[in-house]
């Protein structure tokens, strides 16, 4: 890991290590005390980077190490860089993979000299934010019809392992690049290196890597690095929004790991734990990250965030604080995945604040309500069907079950990013086509067609071809 060495002119601002407790280092400076967030370097080759988090007194600071501190001892000289942690920005970062220091980790040719920006930026002021609520179209039927995402908003993706989170994220990147000429930014917080490796190769095979920037703070890295990787990724995303006036799709996996890294840092810094062992500053830390994701008059950063819920308890402080920032929640269901209904979204558990008549229009709103009602009634009838069979239902209930089952299959969709192993050509479906399809299914136009004709298709007209 290469860390930029401090300049010789800065050697005057030297200090000495007075205490090391894991990743927390206390440093004493005789002359000039570094400001909060300043980066300090120490170790034999200045390979250990420390970020100042608090000033203990007139001559001492306490910081968190962003690199391992093995071999660091009391009395070691510390150099004040006089700067905050920075990352490179510019069009050359497209298609590359970075660590928290802005170093490339994809073993490709080195980057040219680029502008460096601090990872600690303020959220855009209210005067620059867009007051219009716009819909962010993904080309995925189930999301666009029932869980419309907000352009410049934040959507939470709740789901366990193996239910299709990564495939869904990769497909959104593919569709974003395809019709918005937008930029995608993937930020892995506390990711396993295996997951990062797989994602990199999946994106390469799907042909979306050239318009994507990836940044990882891996699970084996110190908590300081995992805690700052989200801020570093946002600085890169803000460049594309504010300087190049482009829309950015920011994918974060996993927000819980960011909160967890903050909890570790807080504990190491000696702060008193709050409710259920979380840091007392949980709300502030999450807000500092989330409030930078915004829709301005020049462009928008739309974020989709994977969120792990500890013990499936939605009252856990980490989930409660995350929920308050989200404009949409997409819940993935293992049951749907086991039935082969991909994307495996639980349509009744998921919801969006955008689904109001004033934003999506009367027709879309009424249709979405009708679909939810049909699916909810079908859910209630499932127990009766399991015990007594479909034949025991009244004619109207049988018709409702047929409509619901056709809707469920219509909401399945072949993805471009899975073409190479499913052999089914990917489809991107416009909102208009998706709404027309749902409307015609609810009107019983296709009641004579078999359910299988609705499975893994794009627009509704494909039913007649396969039926």
* Cα–Cα distance, 410 to 467 (Å, whole number): 13
The neighbouring-strand residues paired with 15 are 29, 78
CA neighbor of 236 nearest in space, from 282, 165, 184: 184
The tokens for 18 are: 């007075």
pLDDT in tens, the chain (467 residues): 555 544 444 444 689 999 999 899 999 999 889 999 999 999 988 999 999 999 999 999 999 999 999 989 999 999 999 999 999 999 999 999 999 999 999 989 999 999 999 999 999 999 988 888 889 899 999 999 999 999 889 999 887 777 888 788 888 888 877 666 678 899 999 888 887 888 888 778 777 788 889 999 999 999 999 999 999 999 999 999 999 998 898 999 889 999 999 999 999 898 999 988 899 999 999 999 999 998 898 889 999 998 887 877 778 898 889 988 999 999 888 899 999 999 999 999 999 999 999 999 999 999 999 999 999 999 999 988 999 888 888 999 999 999 999 999 999 999 988 888 788 999 999 999 999 999 999 999 999 999 999 999 999 999 988 65
* Cα–Cα distance, 339 to 347 (Å, whole number): 14
pLDDT at 310: 82
Q: State how far Cα 280 lies from the chain centre.
A: 24
* Cα–Cα distance, 124 to 133 (Å, whole number): 17
The residue with tokens 């084996």 is 220
Query: The pTM is what?
Result: 0.85
CB 276 within 8 A of CB 260: no
Catalytic residues: 165, 191-192
């Amino acid at each position: 890991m290469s860390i930029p060495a401090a300049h010789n002119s800065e050697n005057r601002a030297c200090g000495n290590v007075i205490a090391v407790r894991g990743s927390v280092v206390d440093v004493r400076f005789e002359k000039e005390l570094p400001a909060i967030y300043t980066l300090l370097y120490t170790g034999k080759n200045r390979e250990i980077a420390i970020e100042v988090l608090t000033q203990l007194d007139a001559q001492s600071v306490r910081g968190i190490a962003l690199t391992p501190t093995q071999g660091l001892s009391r009395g070691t000289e510390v150099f004040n860089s006089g700067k905050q942690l920075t990352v490179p920005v510019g069009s050359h970062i497209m298609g590359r993979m970075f660590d928290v220091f802005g170093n490339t980790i994809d073993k490709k040719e080195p980057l040219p000299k680029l502008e460096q920006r601090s990872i600690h930026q303020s959220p855009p002021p209210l005067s620059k934010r867009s007051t219009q609520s716009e819909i962010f179209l993904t080309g995925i039927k189930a999301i666009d019809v029932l869980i419309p995402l907000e352009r410049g908003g934040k959507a939470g993706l709740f789901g366990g392992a193996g239910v299709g989170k990564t495939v869904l994220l990769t497909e959104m990147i593919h569709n974003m690049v395809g019709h918005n000429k937008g930029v995608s930014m993937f930020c892995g917080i506390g990711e396993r290196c295996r997951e990062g490796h797989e994602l990199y190769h999946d994106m390469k095979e799907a042909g979306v890597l050239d318009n994507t920037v990836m940044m990882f703070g891996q699970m084996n890295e110190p908590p300081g690095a995992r805690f700052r990787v989200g801020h570093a990724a946002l600085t890169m995303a803000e460049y594309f929004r504010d300087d190049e006036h482009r829309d950015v799709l920011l994918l974060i996996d996993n927000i819980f790991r960011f909160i967890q890294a903050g909890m570790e840092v807080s504990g190491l810094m000696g702060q008193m734990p709050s409710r259920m062992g979380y840091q007392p500053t949980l709300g502030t830390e999450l807000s500092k990250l989330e409030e930078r994701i915004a829709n301005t008059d020049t462009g928008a950063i739309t974020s989709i965030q994977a969120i792990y819920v500890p013990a499936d308890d939605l009252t856990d402080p980490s989930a409660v604080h995350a929920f308050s920032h989200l404009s949409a929640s997409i819940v993935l269901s293992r049951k749907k995945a086991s039935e082969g209904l991909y994307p495996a979204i639980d349509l009744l558990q998921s919801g969006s604040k955008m689904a109001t008549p004033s934003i999506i229009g009367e027709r879309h709103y009424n249709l979405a309500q009708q679909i939810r009602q049909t699916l909810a009634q079908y859910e209630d009838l499932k127990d009766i069907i399991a015990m007594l069979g479909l034949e025991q239902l009244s004619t109207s209930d049988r018709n409702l079950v047929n409509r619901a089952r056709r809707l469920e299959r219509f909401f399945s969709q072949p993805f471009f990013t899975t073409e190479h192993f499913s052999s089914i050509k990917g489809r991107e479906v416009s909102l208009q086509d998706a709404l027309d399809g749902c409307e015609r299914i609810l009107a019983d136009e296709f009641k004579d067609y078999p359910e299988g004709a609705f499975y893994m298709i794009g627009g509704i007209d494909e039913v007649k071809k396969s039926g």
